Structure 1
Amino acid sequence: MTGSSSRMRLTRRGLLGAGIAAFAAPALAACSSPAVAGLTGAQLDPKTLVYWNLFGGGDGSRMQTMEAHYQQTHGGPSSLQSTVFAWGNPYYSKLTLATVGNKPPDIAISHLTRAKNLAQAGIIEPITDAELGLVGLSAADFNPKAWAAQRLGGHNIAIPLDTHPLVMFYNVDVCSKAGLIGSDGKLKPIHGMSEFESALKAISKVTGGIAASLANVAETATPWRFFTTLYHQHANASPVLSDDGAKFTIDDGIAVEVMSRVASWVKQGWMNDALNYADAETDLFTGKAGFYFEGEWEITTAQGIKGLKFGMVPVPTLYDQPASQADSHTFVLPKKDRTPAQRQQVMGFVKSMLDQSMTWAKGGHIPAYLPVRNSDAYGKLEPQADYASAANDAVYDDPAWYSGSGSTFENIIGAQLALAQQRAVSPKAALAATRSQLQVYLRTPSPL
């Protein structure tokens, strides 16, 4: 059902169901457009498609380029109203409030790891195969990992735009001096722990300090992304969360091994003990480190550094199998009554965005739309094509009402992983603290 009778009432449980554990009035601050449908109740031309997203910086400018193309081909500026909100809970708060208030946008962006919470809370509605077919789309057009991850209860709840995994950046000049660059000018393949640690040792001799940088001060997401990447490279790793977040089922042995290994790199002087986000990437840019682990979106920052020669590859497989922590930006349909013409309009917008995935890919994100991902043009896009395989080995956060990108779960476990990297606490102590702090969330029944 899509009528107002089926909409969730505005309750604390409903907000939690959308993954919003810390809603506050400041989250309703004015957004980038003065005529915003939804919270402000502004009147729009009924033919105007209302689109909400959370893209700033380089992503924001590329999305604006894609939006402009849509407007040029669909009737001009009045055909689309796009509004940008602050990343994270403020965005999801607004989307939830607008939907339960019966004034949602026509189409919105959601992280895939947050979309399931929105679907279970009744904020977004399924996307049928028939609706995909309106613009010639089908499941076969999308990266299988991303497509499978968005499925819920046998339904499609989101249309993936991309996959954005953790990757390894490398400084070409530093790695060349360390003997790690091949005749093609790219990083030689690194297979297994022994080769990786040998590379760290060689780079450290060049820099006279650390070999690899990883943000861990005032930063919880990156330590979690790096840890879960290595954790899931173990073939027998259990889910970290199970039963929709009711159980913390991490394999203690594997978790301690990964944390201990990272701490050993710090002890050897091969990895930083404490760096914030900006300083961690600056160390790569200035040649103080040869490797840097972060999301591929930092490609834009790296490209803006004059004279910097860098490359990007998937995180090397150090254990049993390739794995890369990732999320995806997806298009979702907020629950509302729609005419057939409006459904056609929404799907036409999605198709236009997917067709422009090469523009989006220039910002680092790996296209989920296979006609672009498998094209010759994308194959020639460097360094993007060099790490594109990471999308096939994507590991999404386990579902829970308190998990996903920018979530309470990431903040809790990421903080402890950061302390373990800093060698401020032992791996076992970090694991025990995480388990203790998660208890209130594990014991709280899902509010869905």
Structure 2
Amino acid sequence: MPIRPLPTVPPSRGTAFTRRSLLAAGAAAATVLPLAACSSPLAAGLAGSALNPDTLVFWNLFGGGDGLRMQEMEAGYAKQHGGSSSLQATTFAWGNPYYSKLTLATVGNKPPDVAISHLTRAKPLWDGDLLEPISADDLAGVGLSASDFNQKAWTAQKTDGKNICVPLDTHPFVLFYNVDVCQKAGLIDSDGTLKDLTGIDAFESALAAVAKVTGGTALNVANVSETATPWRFFWTMYNQINGVTPFISDGGGKLTVDMDAYTKVTDMTQKWVKNGWLNKGLDYATAQTLMFTGKAGFFMQGEWEISTAQSIKGLKFGMAPVPQLFDKPAAQADSHTFILPRKNRTPDEKHAAMLFIKQMLQQSLIWAQGGHVPAYLPTFDSTAYKKLEPQSDYASAAQHAVFDDAAWYGGSGSTFENTVGAQLALVQQGSISPAGAMDAIRSQLSPYLNTPSPL
């Protein structure tokens, strides 16, 4: 079923929970699905049992390789604080199950001390009065400051003039390439990395050269049973054009897409498909498998697929920022962040939560091994990270990150992303014209555009 975002409310920064907050919990409850946890959620949830008051409770939504790396970081924190009893870390199912559980627990005043949120989902949580702001003094109390972070992510998290979260990473849309295929196409430089492909002419020439080598497509962008990837591809290209307007604005109340830029990107997409350079229809797994096996030279996806590529025996691959094809570099991205769910805390408890965040950030080289670009600059600027390849080869993409427009129905894995991405996928498949896709987008988003945040 489509992942639907949690409804949220306009900002209300009082300390008491409002009727809107209670309604938010009810709306969230309607979306709750079975939860997967690596420790008992009851120990820290709405039906919570008593915990050692010194135990810090942390919730996240990381599975797979990310989950294993997060557990390693959690163990590092626990080691500094006397053992496993110092931390209760619980992992819930990705997406709305997680955000629903977090909303319910917060409204019930039984939230974790610290939780993970996508930056684009933290904003609706803030608007729902479910987060505590993080002041400069809170940061300074554990030796942090705004200057310690990637400024794209740090600026993006600021809402209503407040810090609403602390970025752990940036995860941008990037270009994977098959070294053997690109070598045969004459696209590998003397240092073994991809040549500079800046500009639409240079990139299209590269696509043509790779297609000759593969005898098929040059670039794969998943678009069957997949809506996030077509959106990420479009939003990356759209934001490389100077002067573009937000796709949606006014908190999701207005559709303000720049139609000239929209047409430019979608026409380009259909041209690449017609020329045989870009796949017409491939699901997520097949799109990457064909690049890994040399049947395509390029694959665009989030950098988290580095773990999959590294697991393919004998595969020589590289990664780079998506080339700048138009006026400026840009890459669709989100960030995993640490949030402080609203709850009754003492100053010491808030300090303990901030110390946990600081000590997790100090271990973010572990996190970077999974592909995510560290937001914490002492790690990003470290010699160890610069030696990490191919991770450091695309690190500059974080400087050009473009986050999704803020909306109560937007963010990673949201109704907005599913709706628009589905139509963009059909454009790539040749099943609909760009104009027809925009008509469908307008129609399908209309209930959300014309409905204020329902809480």
Normalised by the shorter chain, which TM-score bucket? over 0.9
Q: How do 1:77-116 residues align onto structure 2 when only pairs under 5 Å count?
A: 77-116=84-123
Establish whether residue 240 from structure 1 lines up as the match of residue 247 from structure 2: yes
8 Å contact from structure 2 (residues 109, 344) kept in 1: no
Identical-pair percentage:
62
Report deviation, 1:140: 0.4
8 Å contact from structure 2 (residues 109, 343) kept in 1: yes
| Residue in structure 2 matched with residue 119 of structure 1 by the alignment | 126
2 CA distance for matches of 1:210 and 1:338? Answer: 56
Establish whether residue 134 from structure 1 lines up as the match of residue 145 from structure 2: no
Establish whether residue 31 from structure 1 lines up as the match of residue 69 from structure 2: no
| Residue in structure 2 matched with residue 286 of structure 1 by the alignment | 293
* Paired residue secondary structure (1:125): coil
Q: Which amino acid aligns with 2:318?
A: G
Q: How do 1:134-213 residues align onto structure 2 when only pairs under 5 Å count?
A: 134-213=141-220
Deviations for 1:246-304, whole angstroms, at most 9, x for unmatched residues? 00000112111101111111111111111100001101110011000000000001001
Establish whether residue 354 from structure 1 lines up as the match of residue 361 from structure 2: yes
Cα RMSD of the aligned pairs, angstroms, is: 1.6
Deviations for 1:33-75, whole angstroms, at most 9, x for unmatched residues? 2253123322211111000000000100000000001001111
8 Å contact from structure 2 (residues 171, 303) kept in 1: yes
Q: Which amino acid aligns with 1:144?
A: Q
Establish whether residue 319 from structure 1 lines up as the match of residue 329 from structure 2: no
8 Å contact from structure 2 (residues 22, 107) kept in 1: no
1 CA distance for matches of 2:371 and 2:156? Answer: 21
1 CA distance for matches of 2:13 and 2:231? Answer: 37
CA distance 1:346–1:2, change in 2 (3 Å): farther
8 Å contact from structure 1 (residues 8, 123) kept in 2: no
Establish whether residue 340 from structure 1 lines up as the match of residue 347 from structure 2: yes
* Paired residue secondary structure (1:71): helix
1 CA distance for matches of 2:451 and 2:149? Answer: 35
1 CA distance for matches of 2:261 and 2:13? Answer: 45
Q: Which amino acid aligns with 1:386?
A: D
| Residue in structure 2 matched with residue 398 of structure 1 by the alignment | 405
**Contiguous gaps of at least 5 residues in structure 2:** 1-11
| Residue in structure 1 matched with residue 387 of structure 2 by the alignment | 380
8 Å contact from structure 2 (residues 249, 405) kept in 1: yes
2 CA distance for matches of 1:38 and 1:367? Answer: 30
Report deviation, 1:29: 3.9
2 CA distance for matches of 1:431 and 1:367? Answer: 36
8 Å contact from structure 2 (residues 115, 339) kept in 1: yes
| Residue in structure 2 matched with residue 427 of structure 1 by the alignment | 434
Deviations for 1:166-207, whole angstroms, at most 9, x for unmatched residues? 000000000000000011011001010001010000000000
| Residue in structure 2 matched with residue 5 of structure 1 by the alignment | 16
CA distance 1:28–1:188, change in 2 (3 Å): same
* Paired residue secondary structure (1:334): coil
* Paired residue secondary structure (2:43): coil
TM-score, normalised to structure 2, is 0.95
Deviates more, 1:103-112 or 1:372-381: 372-381
**Contiguous gaps of at least 5 residues in structure 1:** none
Report deviation, 1:376: 1.4
2 CA distance for matches of 1:266 and 1:3? Answer: 53
Q: Which amino acid aligns with 2:92?
A: F
8 Å contact from structure 1 (residues 15, 93) kept in 2: no
Deviations for 1:307-328, whole angstroms, at most 9, x for unmatched residues? 0000100000011100000000
Q: Which amino acid aligns with 1:394?
A: A
CA distance 1:280–1:374, change in 2 (3 Å): same
Report deviation, 1:11: 4.1
Q: Which amino acid aligns with 1:32?
A: C
8 Å contact from structure 2 (residues 36, 93) kept in 1: no
Q: Which amino acid aligns with 1:202?
A: A
2 CA distance for matches of 1:180 and 1:78? Answer: 53
2 CA distance for matches of 1:28 and 1:287? Answer: 39
TM-score, normalised to structure 1, is 0.96
Report deviation, 1:347: 0.9
* Paired residue secondary structure (1:5): coil
CA distance 1:225–1:135, change in 2 (3 Å): same
2 CA distance for matches of 1:81 and 1:2? Answer: 29
Q: Which amino acid aligns with 2:189?
A: G
| Residue in structure 2 matched with residue 437 of structure 1 by the alignment | 444
* Paired residue secondary structure (2:16): helix
Report deviation, 1:24: 3.0
1 CA distance for matches of 2:47 and 2:365? Answer: 34
Establish whether residue 264 from structure 1 lines up as the match of residue 271 from structure 2: yes
Q: Which amino acid aligns with 1:253?
A: D
Q: Which amino acid aligns with 2:442?
A: R
8 Å contact from structure 2 (residues 226, 422) kept in 1: yes
8 Å contact from structure 2 (residues 24, 128) kept in 1: no
* Paired residue secondary structure (2:59): strand
* Paired residue secondary structure (1:292): strand
CA distance 1:113–1:15, change in 2 (3 Å): farther
2 CA distance for matches of 1:274 and 1:405? Answer: 23
* Paired residue secondary structure (2:340): strand
2 CA distance for matches of 1:154 and 1:280? Answer: 41
* Paired residue secondary structure (2:337): strand
2 CA distance for matches of 1:14 and 1:74? Answer: 34
1 CA distance for matches of 2:338 and 2:237? Answer: 29
2 CA distance for matches of 1:61 and 1:13? Answer: 32
CA distance 1:2–1:260, change in 2 (3 Å): closer
CA distance 1:30–1:171, change in 2 (3 Å): closer
1 CA distance for matches of 2:194 and 2:395? Answer: 15
2 CA distance for matches of 1:241 and 1:4? Answer: 31
